[in-house]
Structure 1
């Protein structure tokens, strides 16, 4: 069974892949790509990609944990994340340590690459923001409330092409 990943590990993969193909992204675009990766995993694999909450923010869906992690870059493109480490707590010793990022499975990597590739031509992330705000999961959720994965799944099962369809 495939794991549910840490959103920072998934974010790092998206950022590094985007930089590798010479289409770097900023935090706003990252948020929308994470949203569509989650939607694609729910529809194509039947499970979440990551467990962090997706919140309906003013400019569309966002994952606060990932947003805060990368907010130091502001509107600038985010550089490669080769050295990021996740802090973990050992329940038995109550000691903090660094966990190495886990290897992402082939299916998840393929979905991520397909999502990133679908939105390569969007250079203004506000276009992607507007797209997500026209779609029901965001529209039907009150601002600053969680967009439930059940709603994301229900909406995109009826029209899966919207996950990959550019503005």
Structure 2
């Protein structure tokens, strides 16, 4: 199995949010902080369901919750991250959608948590064992994430 680059998953969320911004008056632009929490849930569900990572990047326990260094570095100094959607962004969106397992998970995470604010997601992750039990700035262990998701997330398949 080929593990997809985390920034392609970010682009999936950017493209989806861009469409929502055009479609719904109440939509808010995706922020760097929010996408990192959504990525944490994507990784957790992927570990739960497939016992492997959705993306190869470590998830770090930062002050404001789970974070991914590469995403932070790409969008440093930016709050909102949607901006203009390029042909490459659309290609990344399609690539994520072409991976049936990954597409199912990003869609489920977006459906369940996409309407939550970044601060709501920060509060949520701060209440969860993986972030609470990891020293600040350290890597949150895959085993800890998987165990937490195994015990706390019910998944129904249709």
Shared topology, TM-score over 0.5? yes
Partner of 1:44: 49
User: Where in structure 1 are there 5+ consecutive unaligned residues?
Assistant: 86-99
Q: Cα deviation per residue 1:130-164 (whole Å; 9 max; x = unaligned)?
A: 11011000000000000011110011101114x9x
Q: 1:136 to 1:144 in 2, by over 3 A?
A: same
* Distance in structure 2 (CA, Å) of the matches to 1:19 and 1:116: 13
1:121 Cα shift? 2.7
Q: 1:81 to 1:43 in 2, by over 3 A?
A: farther
Indicate whether 1:106 and 2:111 are aligned.
Answer: no
Indicate whether 1:25 and 2:44 are aligned.
Answer: no
SS of the counterpart of 1:61?
strand
Q: 1:152 to 1:21 in 2, by over 3 A?
A: same
1:129 Cα shift? 0.5
Matches within 5 A, 1:116-127: 116-122=110-116, 124-127=117-120
Return the TM-score normalized by structure 1: 0.78
1:64 Cα shift? 0.8
1:103 Cα shift? 1.9
- Structure 1 outlier segments of 4+, above 6 Å: none
In structure 1, which of residues 69, 78, 81 is the aligned counterpart of residue 82 of structure 2?
Answer: 78
1:82 Cα shift? 2.7
1:107 Cα shift? 1.9
Return the TM-score normalized by structure 2: 0.82
1:47 Cα shift? 1.4
Matches within 5 A, 1:47-58: 47-58=52-63
Point out the structure with max Rg over C-alpha.
1
Indicate whether 1:150 and 2:151 are aligned.
Answer: no
What is the alpha-carbon root mean square deviation over aligned residues? 2.1
* Structure showing the higher helix proportion among its residues: 2
* Distance in structure 2 (CA, Å) of the matches to 1:80 and 1:134: 34
User: Where in structure 2 are there 5+ consecutive unaligned residues?
Assistant: 22-26
